Amino acid sequence: MASLSADQTLILPPAGRRGSQSSQSTTGLPADLLRESVVRLRILALLYAFVFFMSAFFPLLMLPADRAQVFSRLASWLPGVIAIAMALAVAALTWSARVSLPAIMGIGHAFEVASSYGIAAAEFLDPNLLSPETRLIGLSWVGVWVLLYTVVVPTSPRRAVLAALAAVSSVPVTVGYVMLSNPARHGPTAAQFFFGLVFPYLLVVVMAYVGARVVYALGAEIKRSRELGSYRLVERLGEGGMGEVWRAEHRMLARPAAIKLIRPALSGGASFGSPAEFRHRFEREAQAIASLRSPHTVDLFDFGVAADGAFYYVMELLDGLDAETLVRRHGKMPFARVIYVLRQVCHSLSEAEAHRLVHRDIKPANIFLCRYGEEFDFVKVLDFGLVKALGDKPDALPNLTREHSVHGTPAFIAPEQALGLAELDGRADIYSTGCVAFWLLTGELVFRGETPMELLMHHAHTAPVAPSTRITAPIPAALDQLILACLAKNPADRPQSAKELSRRLAEIENADRWTNDVAREWWASHERGVDRTVSDPITR
């Protein structure tokens, strides 16, 4: 997966590609380690091709006399060319999204064997090696290659031993072929053949087995450590400043989930206080999310503390895209669709208001449009990690909101948040919703700034422009005015609740133009294979 910025939603591979449950059950290793094995296989294949070329062909380019002698015999150069071409083909295959992990790993084992035969052919196909003076004691490069492959590309010990046995057989098989093809020459005796060409490579297989056991045991230990309560971590989707997000499965139920691991040791900031205060805040936020029942708020299945002290949320895994990714990929939205999305956001925020909760980080990356049953463009509001309860007393919740700290995302932050005011209510979320509406309509931010501080100052003091001034597509005047009202500096001049904002959105002419049927058609034509996306991005 590509690297992630602090505010990006994490994208999973489409279902049926690498990292599936079948991959893990086939190899016994976690899916992310399997994908890492594919990357290592690619590196080894490219390394094999490079070293083979540099050792077998590059010197010939420098020595014309030797070049003529080598290329005069087909057996002197053809095996090397085939081996290099095979290695490049395997490297290219590892980039294919159509081939499953188990299949690629199987091809990798076949490559280990075939590449060993390529090395043996380059070393032993010369009949001049068959003489009484030739000493066969010692190891071919095949031994080095087999050990390197076994340790770098992990697999089960049984598979590793079978592949290693087949690979090291390349030396005695190649020499035996040369002996049978040249009966007039005096080859090694039976004892010389065994101790020079068989016994050393059996020792290589033993070493390969030990290496495979060690690497495999490490993978199994990682699997055992990835168990949180009733959930097992399957695949790491990404990481951020405070922790990681994983795809997980319940041990008993066929229900995928997204687990957000939060490690206090990685949070770094003094704004989170002592470990006890961090835990207090974590439990409080989890309880706040769990108290919400709006279908447009991401579902929290479970939360707890892992054995290593990490806190974790277990949330639903959704199919779709966050609004930031959607706009960046497909461009700005028509106004009716923006209204359709915002009214669902308001449904989530209205319930939060009823519980006296403020989200404080409404932004496109936290607004997720998905397929939910038979509904399309179904909105889920994500990441209530900055949620604040109205009426909190500083002495009752010490240091949960540190003095002079600013919480939120600068491009979508309310003026009162930008100024660090302690008293916030749901109207701060109304302002952020106005910023989101501006983004969805225009594909641009309300304010531009070179630094986060410059953005904060714009939100605190600069008057916004109407969305209609940034685009040529028509926007109803009532929507233009409503968004400007949401962006008012004074909270008293904004819609006073999410319910009021939803009502005023519904009153706009042609607000009902975007329907579920229209949304279904849009997803069918623009996102045929809906990405599986984790429900709760790491945003801090």
Residue 486's pLDDT band (boundaries 50, 70, 90)? very high
Residues 88-111, mean pLDDT to the nearest whole number:
86
pLDDT for the residue numbered 1: 31
**Residue 15 counted as domain residue:** no
- Please state, in angstroms and rounded to a whole number, the distance separating the CA atoms of residues 236 and 241: 15
Residues 527-534, mean pLDDT to the nearest whole number:
52
Residues 412-424, mean pLDDT to the nearest whole number:
84
Q: End of a domain among 290, 316, 342? A: 316
- Please state, in angstroms and rounded to a whole number, the distance separating the CA atoms of residues 306 and 188: 63
Q: What residue numbers bound the domain in which 88 lies?
A: 21-225
Using an 8 Å Cβ cutoff, are 378 and 318 in contact?
A: no
User: Are 458 and 475 within one domain?
Assistant: yes
pLDDT for the residue numbered 387: 55
pLDDT for the residue numbered 407: 58
Q: Does 395 have pLDDT greater than 50?
A: no
**Residue 16 counted as domain residue:** no
Phi first, then psi: what are they for 126, rounded to 5°?
-75, 115
The 8-class DSSP code of residue 403 comes to T
How far from 22 is each of 103, 347, 351, 478, CA to CA, in Å? 11, 39, 40, 53
Alpha helices (runs of H) in 409-515, residue ranges in sequence order: 415-418, 426-442, 452-461, 477-486, 498-506
**Residue 422 counted as domain residue:** yes
Q: Quick count: other Cβ atoms within 10 Å of Cβ 206?
A: 12
Higher pLDDT, 487 or 527: 487
Using an 8 Å Cβ cutoff, are 208 and 201 in contact?
A: no
User: Are 336 and 280 within one domain?
Assistant: no
Residue 451 is part of a domain; what is its CATH number?
Answer: 1.10.510.10
pLDDT for the residue numbered 242: 60
User: Are 394 and 310 within one domain?
Assistant: no
**Residue 477 counted as domain residue:** yes
Domain count, the chain: 3
User: Are 131 and 243 within one domain?
Assistant: no
User: Are 351 and 436 within one domain?
Assistant: yes
Phi-psi region of 359 (alpha: psi -120 to 50; beta: other; left: phi over 0): alpha
Active site residue 126: no
Q: Which of 341, 395, 397, 348 is nearest to 370 (CA)?
A: 341
Phi first, then psi: what are they for 371, rounded to 5°?
-90, 125
| pTM, rounded to two decimals | 0.59
**Residue 4 counted as domain residue:** no
pLDDT for the residue numbered 14: 39
**Residue 11 counted as domain residue:** no
Q: Does 33 have pLDDT greater than 50?
A: yes
For 41-88, write each residue's pLDDT tens digit.
Answer: 999 999 999 998 888 778 777 777 666 666 666 666 778 888 899 999
For 269-324, write each residue's pLDDT tens digit.
Answer: 444 556 666 677 777 777 777 778 888 988 888 777 776 667 787 888 888 888 89
Q: End of a domain among 316, 344, 360? A: 316
Percent of the chain surpassing pLDDT 70: 74
Of the candidate ranges 1-15, 108-122, 153-167, 411-425, the one whose mean pLDDT is the lowest: 1-15
Q: Which of 61, 116, 126, 55 is nearest to 87 (CA)?
A: 116
User: Are 212 and 349 within one domain?
Assistant: no
User: Are 220 and 346 within one domain?
Assistant: no
Long-range CB contacts (< 8 A, 24+ apart) of 397-402? 397/280, 397/281, 397/284, 398/273, 398/277, 399/273, 399/274, 399/277, 400/273, 400/277, 400/280, 400/281, 400/284, 402/270, 402/271, 402/273
pLDDT for the residue numbered 105: 84
Select the highest-mean-pLDDT range: 407-416, 504-513, 520-529.
Answer: 504-513
pLDDT for the residue numbered 212: 85
Residue 196's pLDDT band (boundaries 50, 70, 90)? confident
User: Are 70 and 176 within one domain?
Assistant: yes
Q: Does 500 have pLDDT greater than 90?
A: yes
Residues 468-493, mean pLDDT to the nearest whole number:
92
How far from 295 is each of 292, 346, 369, 382, 503, CA to CA, in Å? 9, 12, 13, 12, 18
Higher pLDDT, 201 or 306: 201
Of the candidate ranges 191-200, 213-222, 427-436, 510-519, the one whose mean pLDDT is the lowest: 213-222
Of the candidate ranges 53-62, 130-139, 252-261, 310-319, the one whose mean pLDDT is the lowest: 130-139
Residue 268's pLDDT band (boundaries 50, 70, 90)? very low
Half-sphere exposure of 394 (CA within 13 A, CB side): 6
DSSP string, 467-479: GGGT-SS---HHH
Q: End of a domain among 291, 316, 341? A: 316
User: Are 30 and 53 within one domain?
Assistant: yes
User: Are 62 and 155 within one domain?
Assistant: yes
Q: Which of 414, 360, 357, 420 is nearest to 391 (CA)?
A: 357
Tokens of 144: 């080095």
**Among residues 7, 32, 319, 361, which one is catalytic?**
361
User: Are 485 and 337 within one domain?
Assistant: yes
**Residue 14 counted as domain residue:** no
**Residue 35 counted as domain residue:** yes
Mean pLDDT for all residues in the chain: 78
User: Are 440 and 473 within one domain?
Assistant: yes
